[in-house]
Amino acid sequence: DAGITQSPRHKVTETGTPVTLRCHQTENHRYMYWYRQDPGHGLRLIHYSYGVKDTDKGEVSDGYSVSRSKTEDFLLTLESATSSQTSVYFCAISESTSPNYGYTFGSGTRLTVV
Amino acid sequence: EDQVTQSPEALRLQEGESSSLNCSYTVSGLRGLFWYRQDPGKGPEFLFTLYSAGEEKEKERLKATLTKKESFLHITAPKPEDSATYLCAVQAPGGKLIFGQGTELSVKP
């Protein structure tokens, strides 16, 4: 697929444990986004980044933190996983905030918190 | 508040039976409206961007249209391979995309 990889693809973890999801891109795009997708809610923005070490919160950021130390990597961390964070997580990249540049999505990480 | 609502939630068609999916939106300053296709177990795949009311775009059996309050995705003579979830999103000032809940389309042979 086009230059964006998410890892792991699937993960089962226990309540209260920390979890880190990774998004890696080879497109050198400035903007990176983390979304979660749940039935009945669609895709909701968790955090986004507009450059190395520049990040901001989305609409559902509670319980999540992010880091971007390199252009190509955007990490999403659940400090202490809860069952409500069971979801499918998607990373997206974009070259610009102009609507002429759409988002490219990764294949997703299915996270189950038991 | 910026919001996107898609209808219906699910649509079942027979092969060749044309129909339309609806995306209603409210946003403070529309910069673009996007349609994506999502297959099970995969990430959304870009289909179209519409920028202003009256604009139309086509791709194979799909045609997207835009008014000041809604967008339609028309599917003409669908085939089973058109089965997927179709997502609509609007871009708000600042560049973030706000998504609707999607319409799950099933086309039976």
How do residues B59-85 score in pLDDT, each as one tens digit? Answer: 999 999 999 999 999 999 999 999 999
Which residues 53-112 of chain A have a CB within 8 Å of chain B?
Answer: 58, 90, 92, 94, 96-100, 102-108
Reported confidence tier of residue A101, pLDDT bands at 50, 70, 90: confident
Give which of A30, A36, A37 to mutate to test B binding, by max B Cβ within 10 Å: A37
Alpha-helical segments (H) within chain B: none
Band of residue B95 on the pLDDT scale cut at 50, 70, 90: confident
User: Is pLDDT above 60 for A1?
Assistant: no
Nearest-Cα residue of chain B relative to residue A57: B96
**A–B CB contacts, 8 A cutoff, strictly below:** 57
- The pLDDT mean for chain A works out to 94
Strands (E), chain B: 3-7, 10-14, 19-26, 32-38, 45-50, 56-59, 62-66, 70-75, 84-91, 97-99, 103-108
What pLDDT sits at residue A2? 63
Contact A55, A49 (CB under 8 A): yes
The gap between the terminal CA atoms of chain B, to the nearest Å, is 41
User: If you count them, how many residues does chain B have?
Assistant: 109
pLDDT for the residue B12: 98
Q: For chain B, which residues lie within 8 Å of any Cβ of chain A, measuring from their own Cβ?
A: 31-32, 34, 36, 41-46, 49, 51, 87, 89, 91, 94-102
For residue A80, the model assigns a pLDDT of 97
Could you tell me whether strands A54-57 and A42-51 are parallel, antiparallel, or unpaired per DSSP bridges?
A: antiparallel
Confidence category of residue B27, pLDDT binned at 50, 70, 90: confident
**Following CA atoms A95, A101, A102, A106 in sequence, which dihedral angle do they give, to the nearest 10 degrees?**
-20
Residue A113 is given by DSSP the state: E
The more confidently predicted of residues A21 and B1 is A21
